[in-house]
Structure 1
């Protein structure tokens, strides 16, 4: 039974590390990221087409 107690902590750490990596990857994009990118693109397009009279 010593081999079981020797393998459990590294196995638990490996599984936990896998969940951490999965959470990091899942938080790096998705629908929210697409909405933010679309909003930023819309603002940039609006700024590009704004009248230049205010700058003069």
Structure 2
């Protein structure tokens, strides 16, 4: 019965990971897509204004 005790933790982790991936895929797009895109655009704009791209001026 040691083999059952050895296989249970990886099996539980694999099933949990499958549910996590499923939840991530299902949350993409849909009604919240516009809000998420707007938040990402705002964050990108803030980053661009705070730290300009290119080599640092000395």
TM-score normalised to structure 1 length: 0.55
Q: Any unmatched runs of 5+ in structure 2?
A: 35-58
- Of Structure 1 and Structure 2, which has the larger fraction of its residues in helix? 1
Q: Any unmatched runs of 5+ in structure 1?
A: 37-56
Q: 1:7 corresponds to which residue?
A: 7
Aligned length: 36
Structure 1 runs of 4+ with >3 Å offset: none
TM-score normalised to structure 2 length: 0.53
Q: What value does the CA root-mean-square deviation take over the aligned residues? A: 2.1
Larger Rg: 1
Q: 1:24 corresponds to which residue?
A: 24
